[in-house]
């Protein structure tokens, strides 16, 4: 944002080199945590940079109330580091939590404070170094423009340069890639973006009373009848006609992913500021709705709202391969698969009058995620993991969730360790060896499917409806 078009020239100055690891990971969400652990476990000297004082990304800073599914409805398709971390969180959350969720792998409620500590411990146990409260604001390129020679990091210690051999962009918004000049797409054809949601946590509620209410009214957890009654009465705004996400951490504590803030570009500070203000106002209205309309919530108390609005979509890089909706629908397997995905296409309405795009694969089926979609065009020592990989917009609506981010992060970190050890860039990594390492270290790349196979189509175009989602 410029004030009246004014600019200021800042004098050139010398910066110290503060770290010189083999691999630097930018962003400590699901993809960054998995990438750092994988890189360090595979022998690379690794540094993980995170702008907040804790790890977890949208799962902790935005209070997303539950992990999206790890399974295809029959078996876990995301395994390895991500599944291990979720199980560690469950085990540390206490017996009451385990009684409710011990055997669940899909829509597992997130115990935020437990998860923060699980991530801290797992990253440090791997041998990686952590640096919190640090933000990358500049990328230094080599003379050929194809490789990164350093990144400028700002924090309370001042500005310094981190020089690594390999760089992993796990920012979620492709920040490092964009600063490097990598081409990208953002949003839909008209620039529309999925809305944000300000998630929150409430206590002092009565799950038994709530469950009786659902049984008496014949409603599911999304309470469409109750939500629509409140909208008709003016007690909720128009838009989503059901609660999209309600996760019970205990019989008296619940997390909500409910409602939308529209027109938010998560790469703009001004939009994030407006979203924070509007999101908290929307929560106030929703709390009044819960106390008035939902038995068991009469005395509900707001414990915490997200530190920021939950962001579903920003940049998508242009990579060596772009994963497209036909790949999803045909459940395609690629020669260079590094993960499998079974989460449905889940594109949230762009405005209060729109419907959502939803498309499920058949139960038990998944598609491959190729290594090439993480390789940004024009850059040799940079890889991107997470929701900003190279895909079209419908597929981004499926890839963007935390289990998939774990899987892509594990692949990126493993590839980075291999490249660092061999003195190569990311395109010099032997993909077959990378796949063997991933499988040996717990990842799942499919059972018996030959590379390059295309399975029979899941059938049909995208449909527009409301559904339980992230």
Asked if the structure places residue 429 within a domain, the reply is: yes
CATH code of 415's domain: 3.50.50.60
Last residue of a domain, one of 270, 305, 340: 305
Regarding predicted confidence, which is higher, 463 or 316?
A: 316
Determine the distance from the C-alpha atom of residue 398 to the mean position of all C-alpha atoms in its chain, rounded to a whole number.
11
Report how far apart, in Å, the C-alpha atoms of 412 and of each of 36, 51, 169, 451 are: 9, 20, 9, 20
Asked if the structure places residue 209 within a domain, the reply is: yes
Same domain, 210 and 185: no
Asked if the structure places residue 195 within a domain, the reply is: no
Could you read off the pLDDT of 228-262 as tens digits, one per residue? 999 999 999 987 788 888 999 999 999 999 989 99
**Number of domains the chain is built from:** 2
Same domain, 340 and 271: no
Same domain, 386 and 449: yes
Query: What pLDDT is attached to residue 455?
Result: 35
Sequence-distant (6+) residues with CB within 8 A of 342 are 69, 71, 72, 73, 77, 361, 365, 366, 367
Mean pLDDT for 425-452 is 87
Query: What pLDDT is attached to residue 450?
Result: 38
Could you read off the pLDDT of 148-166 as tens digits, one per residue? 999 999 999 999 999 999 9
pLDDT at 370 over 60: yes
Asked if the structure places residue 5 within a domain, the reply is: no
| Both tokens assigned to 214 | 């659902």
Last residue of a domain, one of 252, 273, 305: 305
Same domain, 114 and 168: yes
Domain span at residue 112 reads 16-190+312-470
Q: How far apart are CA 50 and CA 28, in angstroms?
A: 5
Last residue of a domain, one of 273, 305, 337: 305
Same domain, 30 and 162: yes
Confirm if 350 and 262 have CB atoms less than 8 A apart: yes
Same domain, 357 and 233: no
Same domain, 392 and 459: yes
Could you read off the pLDDT of 9-42 as tens digits, one per residue? 999 889 999 999 999 999 999 999 999 999 999 9
Asked if the structure places residue 407 within a domain, the reply is: yes
Phi, psi of 164 (to 5 degrees): -125, 170
Same domain, 155 and 283: no
| Both tokens assigned to 161 | 């340069």
Same domain, 326 and 231: no
Of the pLDDT bands very low, low, confident and very high (cuts 50, 70, 90), residue 350 is low
Asked if the structure places residue 111 within a domain, the reply is: yes
Same domain, 301 and 328: no
Query: What pLDDT is attached to residue 190?
Result: 84
Same domain, 40 and 94: yes
Same domain, 79 and 140: yes
Asked if the structure places residue 415 within a domain, the reply is: yes
Asked if the structure places residue 434 within a domain, the reply is: yes
């Amino acid at each position: 944002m410029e004030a009246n078009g004014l600019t200021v020239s800042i004098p050139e100055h010398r910066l110290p080199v503060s770290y010189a690891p083999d691999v630097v990971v930018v962003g400590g969400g699901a993809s960054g945590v998995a990438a750092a652990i994988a890189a360090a476990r595979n022998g690379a000297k690794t540094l993980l940079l995170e702008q907040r004082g804790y790890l977890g990304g949208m799962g902790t800073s935005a209070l997303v109330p539950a992990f999206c599914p790890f399974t295809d409805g029959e078996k876990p398709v995301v395994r390895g580091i991500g599944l291990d971390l979720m199980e560690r969180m469950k085990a540390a959350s206490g017996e009451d939590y385990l009684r409710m969720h011990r055997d669940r792998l899909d829509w597992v409620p997130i115990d935020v404070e437990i998860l923060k500590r699980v991530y801290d411990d797992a990253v440090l146990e791997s041998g990686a170094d952590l640096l919190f409260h640090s933000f990358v604001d500049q990328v230094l390129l080599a003379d050929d423009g194809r490789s990164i020679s350093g990144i400028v990091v700002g924090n309370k210690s001042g500005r310094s340069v981190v020089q690594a051999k390999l760089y992993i962009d796990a920012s979620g918004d492709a920040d490092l890639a964009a600063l490097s000049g990598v081409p990208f797409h953002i949003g839909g054809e008209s620039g529309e973006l999925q809305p944000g949601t300000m998630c929150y946590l409430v206590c002092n509620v009565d799950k038994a009373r709530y469950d009786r209410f659902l049984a008496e009214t014949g409603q599911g957890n999304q309470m469409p009848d109750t939500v629509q009654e409140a909208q008709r009465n003016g007690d909720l705004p128009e838009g989503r006609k059901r609660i999209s996400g309600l996760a019970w951490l205990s019989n008296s504590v619940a997390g909500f992913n409910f409602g939308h803030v529209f027109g938010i570009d998560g790469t703009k500070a001004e939009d994030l500021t407006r979203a924070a203000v509007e999101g908290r106002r929307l929560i106030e209205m929703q709390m009044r709705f819960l106390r008035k309309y939902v038995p068991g919530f009469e005395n509900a108390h707001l414990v915490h709202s997200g530190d920021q609005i939950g962001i579903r979509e920003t940049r998508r890089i242009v990579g060596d391969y772009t994963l497209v909706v036909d790949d999803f629908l045909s459940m395609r397997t690629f020669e260079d698969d590094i993960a499998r995905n079974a989460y449905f296409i889940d594109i949230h309405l762009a405005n209060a009058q729109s419907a959502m795009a939803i498309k499920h694969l058949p139960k038990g089926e998944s598609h491959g995620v190729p290594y090439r979609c993480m390789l940004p065009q024009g850059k040799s020592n940079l890889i991107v993991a997470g929701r900003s990989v190279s895909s079209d917009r419908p597929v981004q609506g499926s890839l963007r969730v935390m289990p998939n981010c774990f899987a892509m992060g594990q692949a990126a970190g493993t590839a980075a360790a291999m490249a660092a050890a061999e003195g190569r860039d990311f395109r010099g990594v032997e993909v077959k060896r990378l796949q063997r390492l991933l499988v040996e270290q717990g990842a799942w790349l499919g059972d018996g499917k030959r590379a390059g196979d295309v399975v029979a189509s899941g059938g049909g175009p995208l449909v527009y409806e409301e559904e339980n989602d992230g």
